[in-house]
Amino acid sequence: MARLNRTTPRVSHLLFADDCIIFGRSNVNEIDLVNNIICDYEGVSGQLVNLEKSSISFSSGVVEARQIELSCSLGVTWSRARSSYLGIPSTVGRSKSEIFQMLIDRTRKKAKDWKRRLLSRAGKMVLIQSVLQSIPTYIMSCFALPEQIYLQLNSVAARFFWGQKNEERRIHWRSWKKLCTCKGDGGLGFRDISLFNQAMLAKQAWRLTLNENSLLAHSLKARYHPRNDLLMTSNAHYPSFAWKSILVGRDLLVKGIAWKIGNGARVGIGIDS
């Protein structure tokens, strides 16, 4: 391990991973510290950081000239476009529909490529269920999508299913809501995107409840509910969009769980009933 002195930034964890995020203030001293961290990492691990695949983003309060200066000092790419991490937007602003428009674009592109082929109705069903409706799955496990995005995703799938091309009008003989019901009830078993989104978020809330000692659970608890558990907490001041999305899943989770009394150590007589 490299010897640290007073001028060397102290790193608590060095992770041999494909992706890593480093946070800092937007000034030259912080950029120098980040450069030192990268140099120390390369010296200790023998691995080189690929700066061409790295990027830097700034908060809205940093002027453009400073952003360009600092990105050049660090030697990484700076762009006005919103960055993403593992396919998920790094920041979510007020316009949620604009942020998640990429899901609509990807879905439309897939459907457009398939429309050039001769596909049976059964083939279209398989492609919708296995591909089109799977595109937003990863993002839906982290964020509650706006209703407008649900409607557009359903619209793309419905148009593809009924053979609609471009802006031409084709008759939709059944409503999409009816097609999303199970086959026993007269539908085709397509996924209800809105309900599936809630289910994915409820799964995340359940994981946080079961794994209270995980790093994510500790971080969220320290920030949003330090005095109670996830199932009992209410919305916090200035919550992030990710936290509000988790609460959407938590609310659904609470409706379907029940107490099972064990040794009684975690049961509050005046609270739990």
Q: What is the pLDDT of residues 245-269, one digit of tens each?
A: 999 999 999 888 877 777 777 776 6
Structural contact between residues 26 and 66, judged by C-beta atoms closer than 8 angstroms: yes
Record the pTM: 0.69
Placement of tokens 């992770």 in the chain? 15
pLDDT at site 70: 85
Phi, psi of 135 (to 5 degrees): -60, -45
pLDDT at site 81: 55
Using only C-alpha atoms, the chain has a radius of gyration, in whole angstroms, of: 24
Residues 6+ apart with CB under 8 A from 216: 208
C-alpha to C-alpha distance for 167 and 183, rounded to whole angstroms: 30
Helix pair 241-256, 215-224: axis angle to 10 deg: 100
**pLDDT tens-place string over residues 224-234:** 988 888 888 87
Tokens at residue 49, please? 């950081």
Alpha helices in 115-269 (DSSP H): 121-130, 137-140, 147-161, 176-179, 193-210, 215-224, 241-256
* pLDDT grade for 163, boundaries at 50, 70 and 90: confident
pLDDT at site 19: 66
pLDDT at site 246: 92
pLDDT at site 157: 92
Q: How far apart are the first and last CA of the chain?
A: 54
**pLDDT tens-place string over residues 116-137:** 777 888 899 999 999 999 998 8
Helix pair 147-161, 193-210: axis angle to 10 deg: 130
Domain definitions of the chain by residue range: 28-81, 97-191, 196-256
Chain Cα centroid distance, residue 122: 32
CA distances from 102 to 88, 97, 183 (A): 10, 9, 31
pLDDT at site 151: 92
* pLDDT grade for 35, boundaries at 50, 70 and 90: confident
Structural contact between residues 88 and 142, judged by C-beta atoms closer than 8 angstroms: yes
**CA count, 13 A, side-chain hemisphere, 103:** 30
Instruction: Report the helix count and the strand count for the chain, using DSSP H and E.
Output: 11, 4
How many residues are recorded in the chain? 273
Q: What DSSP letter does each residue of 69-95 carry, written as one string?
A: HHHHHHT-EE-SSPPEETTEES---S-
The candidate with the shortest Cα–Cα distance to 156, out of 109, 120, 117, is 109
Kind and range of the H or E element at 45? helix 28-45
